[in-house]
């Protein structure tokens, strides 16, 4: 579905992140914009606000979802892994096959909701090898790459850094830094995770620091993009702050708000 054309003479881009299964609002996210940018985390594995939603409760029920959230929130990761392993062992088809089947079902609905054009990168809970099967002609997937939109250069770096959560697309600090370096100087730097700044990486509801990138922070200070846009932290202590010449913006937890963040020039 093509977005509603914006006013002539201006460029307007809508940005979303952490979609986590919200296909209904995603289908309208490009209305009034020249393009939609998606910063990843399309998949909904487990909704920490509503434990009845996601792949995990679909397979194992809400009571078991309550328990895994309780363990993870308490940072009892070894117990959480052992508890999860027992549950996954009960799946006849095996863990990998069950997850892939559920992810494919979500991707079919979510990619179909993307307007044309959409520029997207991966989140830490996404499964990059599956994206080429679902990204239609109007969706451009970028990771460690650049694209021009309305005369401005946008750089994209997807994925997250390694954590005890072991989500699907976590990579080493070195690999992440190499992608940041490959993007180089841009007007708008688009990533899934934020720069490593305490106010930007602390989640006030989960009550923990998520992993941000030091390499991203260094690149912001060195290359001075107009904007650094990201998601990942659902309820950050600070949604935006300035680092030197750069406006850093957490574009929001789209799964819960259903509203894109708008950039116009």
- What is the number of structural domains in the chain? 1
Q: Is residue 85 part of a domain?
A: no
Give the number of other CB atoms < 10 A from CB of residue 204.
Answer: 12
Q: What is the pLDDT of residue 131?
A: 98
Q: What is the pLDDT of residue 238?
A: 98
pTM equals 0.91
Q: Is residue 93 part of a domain?
A: no
Q: Is residue 69 part of a domain?
A: no
Q: Is residue 89 part of a domain?
A: no
Give the number of other CB atoms < 10 A from CB of residue 40.
Answer: 30
Q: Is residue 60 part of a domain?
A: no
Q: Is residue 65 part of a domain?
A: no
Q: What is the pLDDT of residue 8?
A: 57
What Cα–Cα distance (Å) separates residue 20 from each residue in 149, 158, 173, 209, 231? 26, 16, 25, 20, 12
d(CA 21, CA 254): 10
Q: Give the residues of the chain that fall short of pLDDT 50.
A: 1-4
Strand partners, 230: 250
Q: Is residue 157 part of a domain?
A: yes
Q: Identify the domain containing residue 225 by its residue range.
A: 12-42+115-259
Q: Is residue 62 part of a domain?
A: no
CATH code where residue 174 lies: 3.60.21.10
Q: What is the pLDDT of residue 231?
A: 98
């Amino acid at each position: 579905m093509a977005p509603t054309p914006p006013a002539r003479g201006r460029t307007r881009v809508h940005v979303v992140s952490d979609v986590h299964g919200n296909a209904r609002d995603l289908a309208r996210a490009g209305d009034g914009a020249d393009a939609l940018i998606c910063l990843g985390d399309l998949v909904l594995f487990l909704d920490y606000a509503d434990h009845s939603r996601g792949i995990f409760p679909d397979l194992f029920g809400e009571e078991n979802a309550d328990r895994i959230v309780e363990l993870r929130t308490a940072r009892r990761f070894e117990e959480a892994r052992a508890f999860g392993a027992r549950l996954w062992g009960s799946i006849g088809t095996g863990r990998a096959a069950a997850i892939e089947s559920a992810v494919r079902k979500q991707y079919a609905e979510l990619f179909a909701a993307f307007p044309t054009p959409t520029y997207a990168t991966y989140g830490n809970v996404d499964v990059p090898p599956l994206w080429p099967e679902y990204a239609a002609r109007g969706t451009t997937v970028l990771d460690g790459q650049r694209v021009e939109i309305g005369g401005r250069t946008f750089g994209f770096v997807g994925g997250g850094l390694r954590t005890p959560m072991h989500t699907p697309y976590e990579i080493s600090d070195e690999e992440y830094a190499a992608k940041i370096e490959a993007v180089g100087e841009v007007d708008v730097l688009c990533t899934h995770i934020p720069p490593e700044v305490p106010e930007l990486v602390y989640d006030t509801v989960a009550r923990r620091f998520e992993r941000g990138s030091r390499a991203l922070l260094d690149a912001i200070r060195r290359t001075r993009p107009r904007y650094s846009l990201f998601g990942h932290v659902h309820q950050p202590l600070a949604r935006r702050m300035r680092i030197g010449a750069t406006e850093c913006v957490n574009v929001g937890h789209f799964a819960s708000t259903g509203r894109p963040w708008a950039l116009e020039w």
